[in-house]
A and B are shown apart, each in its own frame.
Chain A
């Protein structure tokens, strides 16, 4: 399918531009190209190693090509702050961000889709008149403020949930996997995920409602009624199935956007994820980490945009099965 190839090319183009932008911002602007990778606290040995890996003595265009190659293989240098390869640090925090984003989104979309469809059913009633402004108000609230309120009430005042972090301090786990599925982790996950869900549910809710209203007015719904099909068949099999498609696409897009937008929620809850890493590294001038974290977030965003297009073309038979007479 040529359209998919076009989108793929677009995706790679955007990534290339962003990579180049980062190259410019971190190497050319400060003037001294070594600032991006070498900190005064490194040993002479480390400095030589880094100079080699990134070709810091070479001419600029060679540096650029080396930089791009390193990017593709995941060579980001060493963190000034943590004294470890940046890639390791990224891999450590990535699961936290992905799980947080995924859980928040899943709850938000499950809730939003069901309530949105139900609201379409309740068109013209006071239920609708009351719910829509409420939903809009929630969307107008800053994510981090919602988190702060939840934190103040449920963690500090009621003590039901921990006040931050992804695991209790001092807790150890035999493997990364067991850490993620531990009760301790889930207990820490609740509030930040709830904050995300609260903030994000507005979009699928309004979208599903709008789609359902459009779909229920379509001729094939009238025909379904004429065939005497049950309400369940009509609303779910025909109505929701058609209305759901844009919501699924929105989910993919939402995932891409949230990974970057989570920054504030991760900060409020001290959640050790990619966003918090980005913020901390910029504040601490830990440039290798900052570059890498930003680039990784971009990769996720651009990839999910592409995935959204892919999903749409696969789910809509009009696109996936083409037209022929």
Chain B
């Protein structure tokens, strides 16, 4: 399997390296699925940014029909594109605003995972010795803790804040990234240009950040993009279980609301199907994008 170090990044002058990194980011366009994924992401990003403008109503506002009655469980129609909840809230508005929670949690958690994983992998692989042993033991522990139950525990004991959910996710998802980065660092460390840098008297820090890191970054992006999907799914699960922030509309919250309000038995498909579909779309977009990256970084031999 070709590895990311085949990318001729290190050893080149700094400006050139930046260009190559940028070009790497634009790479998914070649794969139709990755391109589609990027498009979906971009759409949701725009929706999240302009949610206030796009949503016709306040998501938590209880609405009334023109003749003064509660607009409960209205079916999809002109006034309400996806109908209303059993308490008269506009579903479409909730869906639109919920995009924010999903993307905020997803991207923040993914960045945190990529950051922690990369740092740990870099330090572990580069310094070695007892530091490496310690960090890898820590990784073992993190991998031995059940994921969802732990996040539930954190949210349940420390409070149902979004930040707690992100912390919980980051604390347990970094090991895989760290391990991959670490093994890559171990490979790169032996490479000729690193030896050359050492001989010319470059400090460890300089070698680490100027020569080793650029070869690692593509992997960080890859694992970060994989983490986004899991983070969004986790956030939805936490919210569904009732451990998410109650003042914040998210897709998971909508599903919990629907479930608790017997939307299933009433057959209010317009309420509980769209949020799930949105989650599927965003997560699958993430899968496609990361598969596109994976093809570039680890191309399988074509038959």
Binding site for B on A (CB under 8 A): 10-11, 13-15, 17-18, 25, 29, 123-124, 133, 136-137, 139-145, 148-149, 151-152, 155-157, 163, 217, 257, 259-261, 263-264, 267-268, 275, 278-279, 282-283, 290, 293-294, 297-298, 301-302, 305
B145 at the interface (CB under 8 A from A): yes
**B137:A259 contact, CB within 8 angstroms:** no
- A133, A139, A283, A301: the one contacting B156 at CB < 8 Å is A283
**A282:B144 contact, CB within 8 angstroms:** no
Interface residue stretch chosen among B55-63, B120-128, B276-284: B276-284
A297 CA to B275 CA in the complex, in Å?
A: 29
A92 CA to B229 CA in the complex, in Å?
A: 35
A25 CB contacts on chain B under 8 angstroms: 153, 157
- A29, A136, A143: the one contacting B284 at CB < 8 Å is A136
- B141, B152, B280: the one contacting A137 at CB < 8 Å is B280
- A139, A140, A141, A148: the one contacting B259 at CB < 8 Å is A148
**B147:A268 contact, CB within 8 angstroms:** no
A148 CB contacts on chain B under 8 angstroms: 255, 258-259, 264, 272, 276
A282 CB contacts on chain B under 8 angstroms: 152-153, 156-157, 243
Contact A156 B267, CB 8 Å, known A141-B280, A302-B144: yes
**B283:A140 contact, CB within 8 angstroms:** yes
**A152:B148 contact, CB within 8 angstroms:** no
B144 CB contacts on chain A under 8 angstroms: 11, 14-15, 17-18, 298, 301-302, 305
**A142:B140 contact, CB within 8 angstroms:** no
A297 CA to B153 CA in the complex, in Å?
A: 12
**A297:B146 contact, CB within 8 angstroms:** yes
User: Contact mask B134-152 → A, CB, 8 Å, 1/0?
Assistant: 0001001101111111101
B146 CB contacts on chain A under 8 angstroms: 257, 259-261, 294, 297-298, 301
Closest partner residue, chain B, to A136 (CB atom): B287
A264 CA to B258 CA in the complex, in Å?
A: 15
B272 CB contacts on chain A under 8 angstroms: 145, 148-149, 152
SS class, residues of chain A in contact with chain B: helix
Min CB distance B295 to A, Å, is 13
B82 CB contacts on chain A under 8 angstroms: none
Number of chain B interface residues as a range: 35 or more
**B152:A18 contact, CB within 8 angstroms:** no
B245 CB contacts on chain A under 8 angstroms: none
User: Contact mask B193-234 → A, CB, 8 Å, 1/0?
Assistant: 000000000000000000000000000000000000100010
B241 at the interface (CB under 8 A from A): yes
B157 CB contacts on chain A under 8 angstroms: 25, 29, 282
In the complex, besides A267-B240, A278-B149, A294-B153, 16 extra interface pairs with C-beta distance below 8 angstroms are: A18-B141, A139-B287, A140-B233, A140-B280, A142-B240, A142-B279, A148-B258, A148-B259, A152-B264, A152-B267, A163-B264, A263-B152, A264-B148, A283-B156, A301-B146, A305-B144
List residues 253-288 of chain B with CB under 8 A from any CB of chain A: 255, 258-259, 264-265, 267, 269, 272-273, 275-276, 279-281, 283-284, 286-288
B237 at the interface (CB under 8 A from A): yes
A140 CA to B147 CA in the complex, in Å?
A: 17
Min CB distance A25 to B, Å, is 6
**B264:A279 contact, CB within 8 angstroms:** no
A293 CA to B258 CA in the complex, in Å?
A: 28
**B149:A263 contact, CB within 8 angstroms:** yes
A282 CA to B146 CA in the complex, in Å?
A: 16
A260 CA to B145 CA in the complex, in Å?
A: 9
- A13, A155, A278: the one contacting B152 at CB < 8 Å is A278
Contacts A/B (CB < 8 Å), 14 sampled: A25-B157, A123-B303, A139-B287, A140-B280, A140-B283, A145-B279, A148-B258, A152-B265, A260-B149, A261-B146, A278-B149, A294-B146, A294-B150, A298-B146
A19 CA to B83 CA in the complex, in Å?
A: 48
Contact A10 B153, CB 8 Å, known A136-B284, A148-B255: no
A14 CA to B152 CA in the complex, in Å?
A: 20
A145 CA to B229 CA in the complex, in Å?
A: 15
Min CB distance A271 to B, Å, is 14
A294 CB contacts on chain B under 8 angstroms: 146, 149-150, 153
A263 CA to B259 CA in the complex, in Å?
A: 15
Contact A145 B276, CB 8 Å, known A152-B267, A156-B267, A264-B240: yes
A10 CB contacts on chain B under 8 angstroms: 140
**B255:A275 contact, CB within 8 angstroms:** no
Contact A142 B152, CB 8 Å, known A133-B33, A259-B146, A263-B241: no
